[in-house]
Structure 1
């Protein structure tokens, strides 16, 4: 997006949210979604992708690990999905990002056998990141105090629904739908290895030099300084980064700075119940 486009988009956002601060959530097929999305649901569900389109899915604040996909795919995939109207005007192949849980992804993606990449993050760090995001995101319901936010997360009472159901939904369908399932912690531990995995999945062949450059450009430090990644161009009426930056820490294990021992124990016990039917290899530390 050019500086002129960012300015224009920023002004449009200011106008759109001039009279409303925090929108309510509206359930769509049992999943709480932001009202603007819920009101547009029929159009979203009917969207028909092209077979060459790439879907990138994450639960909110599962980490910016999906960004290497853009750097890898840049030679072939030249359009980032913005609004649905803009998307329809773009020529395929397109990169389309979503936070929708698996069951709400428009069926056209699977009917057309589109490739899809899912990025997951351990639940404790995901919760912490989502809490800080909800504090600064003026378009989502007020998160309230930290101690009250934990049970909301556990019950799936946040935008996009349950984190547990989200990660399980894509995990259980990954082989049938040819979904590349990635972990944020793996990206942090060995970014080059994960970039190479993405490259193979997309059937792209690039030099070691380009892979190294991708790893460098998508490091948390560089992305935090990149306006396209840190959303510093979004007006404070929407993202108030004086409360918390959009890209805050990007660490694995930051949950230890937020959970009390009692909260951690309560969360772990609930996690075991919620995730007992799957064995997804999450790591809370690396």
Structure 2
């Protein structure tokens, strides 16, 4: 249980020391991207694992062998994590990479390449709820306390990994400068098949109808939750305690309604409007 109580800081954002060191963060900020690289970018608990699985299957034309035999963190390693150099497949083309880092950390490095960026956003009410439950089971994150206390920290951006608002505004503010594909967690839920087709077009990786169907089936919540290469049950209990909350808990849209009080919802809407009112971003809070 190395560095479980250590906190690292990068660009004003606090990060768990179990996964990050000052050296790994500096290496991420100066990473040399290839034009063929594909970078998955998310704020925590916004569909990262889902997108890692989808992209693995797109490049494997629907063949689930790799997705069922290699852990997702090895297939699409985290750029800023301590194990990144060991996991990176230098000879692979394209290299699938993953990050939670705010844009300013990777800006200089990304602008020197034509790497493709896929940004997955999730409505922040569900993100906050999922992140709260993740804090309960991930022992490298601080005790979240009550949901009310955690929600206040989420809204003011003092949780680890920083502000959801700054993260999404920072990355989407670069849509004109980067080869960036934006998709939401809710879109994946509404029409996974269409989302797979759109992603394959963006990546220049055409798929046959039966390949799309195979990807859709493998990337369902029920299938992924049973796949040890994706559900994080390979991680030792001392690091992730699935008895507190499974990593893949519900995978639904609108779960925030079972957690938010009316007053919490009013406060959240107020802060959201203050932060995002000038944005053209539109998110779905439910699928009803």
Q: Which residue does the alignment assign to 1:91? A: 91
Q: Deviations over 1:79-124 (max 9, x none)?
A: 4326321245531321001111111126323311101101000000
CA deviation map 1:112-171 (0-9, x unaligned)? 110110100000000000000011000111111111000110011122210111111121
Uncovered stretches (5+) of structure 1, i.e. residues with no partner: 1-16
Aligned pairs, how many?
A: 267
Give 1:81's match in structure 2, choosing from 66, 77, 82.
77
Please, what TM-score do these two structures have when normalized by structure 2? Answer: 0.87
CA distance in 2, matches of 1:202, 1:187: 17
Q: Which runs of 5+ in 2 are unaligned?
A: 67-74
1:25-174 map, 5 Å = 25-35=7-17, 36-40=19-23, 41-63=25-47, 64-66=49-51, 67-74=53-60, 79-81=75-77, 83-88=83-88, 90-92=90-92, 93-105=94-106, 107-174=108-175
How far apart are 1:49 and its partner, in Å?
2.1
Whether the aligned pair in 2 keeps the contact of 1:28 and 1:38 (CA below 8 Å) is no
Instruction: Report if aligned partners of 2:34, 2:114 keep a CA contact under 8 Å in 1.
Output: no
Kept after mapping to 2: 8 A contact 1:58/1:120: yes
Normalised TM-score (structure 1):
0.88
List 4+ stretches of structure 1 deviating above 4 A.
Answer: none
Contact 1:46–1:106 (8 Å) recurs in 2:
no
Deviates more, 1:208-217 or 1:271-280: 271-280
Tell me if the contact between 2:139 and 2:240 (Cα under 8 Å) persists in the aligned partners.
yes
C-alpha RMSD over aligned residues: 1.8
Change beyond 3 A, Cα 1:96–1:204: same
For the 8 Å contact 1:57–1:119, the answer to whether it is kept is yes
Which has the higher mean CA deviation after the structures are superposed, 58-67 or 243-252?
58-67
Secondary structure class of the residue paired with 1:166 = helix
